[in-house]
Structure 1
Amino acid sequence: MFPLFLHLTDRLVVVIGGGAVGRRKAAAVLDAGAHVRLVCLESLPPDETHPALDWRTEPYAAAHLDGAVLVFAAATLDVNARVVADARARGLWVNSASDPEAGDFFVPAVVRRGDFVVAVGTGGAAPALAREIRRRLNEQFDDDFGRWVALLAELRPLVLEHVQDAERRRLFFERWSRWEWLERLRRDGADVVRTGMLQELRDGGGAASSPL
């Protein structure tokens, strides 16, 4: 298995099957910024509309895969087998909910906090274990952790702009990645931590930095 993250923003993902599994797959890739074409025999639930969701209540046909970069087969066994064969014939990566080994990839359990993403997979061998690990990670990497990551992303360009020495830049990034900053954020809030980091940048840049 080779783990990787895919950029799906504004790209078409096709999901075949409108049951609970198919709708979960669709929701996940919509959250990743994809456009989704979902094909099934069920009607669109009124509370699951989305501007990037093209829900088609009709039988599956190979033409539904036109323009896709990724395919999920989450329908019946026979339909899933057809979807896998059609996707393979078109050179498309496909995931089969009913026969994971027949597809090209597995979908991991994911913890997402803004730009911070942890994916946990067991190669399809123990999905329940992957979900339990995700539950535990969700407790550890809470919303404050996501705010810390967002703050680091916000301040990174300032360090790159104002600190010319590569070693000094590395030290800033390493110091700000220490867990003490997260604990301070949880205690005092993101604004206080931002102020502290900016002050450290002003005080610690030395001759290698230009003034902020």
Structure 2
Amino acid sequence: MKNRFKSGLAALASLLVFSLTTNAQTVDKKAATTDDKPKWIYSVGVDAGIPIGDFHDYYDWSLGGSLEANLAIIQRKLYVSLNAGYSNVFAKDDVVPGVKGQDLSLIPIKAGLRYYPFNTVSKLYVQGLAGVSILANKSDVGADKSAAFAYAPQIGYLFQLGKNHNYLDVAVKWEGTSKFADGDASEYNNLGLHVAYAFGSKK
């Protein structure tokens, strides 16, 4: 079940990147300005991911949710972003024989920029977020730190839902979190998929 989930997530991420790139090449640059994106874009979504590198030796996959607000600061192309959420990283059992793995409970809080590179109508975007990830169960996992630096570059697309400023926000992202314990072999790296309901306001 877990292997099918991870394979499906990786395939979906690859398909999404191809779809976004193809869609961007057919953007109608002559669309009416009334189709411009709103000044404010809010979203609530689900995040799933696959641990990468040494992190995958101890953890299978992650699942969580997030809230985000984006405010246009230059036309409708460059937005400032604020994101907060929760993620559970599911541990593998018996990595150490007879020892049950302990999940990680993470609360990431990040800020950054979202850029729509083509025009004010295009819904394709690239985004970079950085901030802190709080380890909510530090004592359970025996970590040295309760917070670590976190960053998340991503590429996504706003699929229009109806005639108003309602969207399905779908993105592929890389999430990196620095070490919570001095003896950890590597950072906590994660390849993820973000799917959210987004809505906008002109004000």
TM-score exceeds 0.5: no
Structure number with higher relative contact order (C-alpha < 8 Å, ≥ 6 residues apart): 2
TM (norm. structure 1) is: 0.23
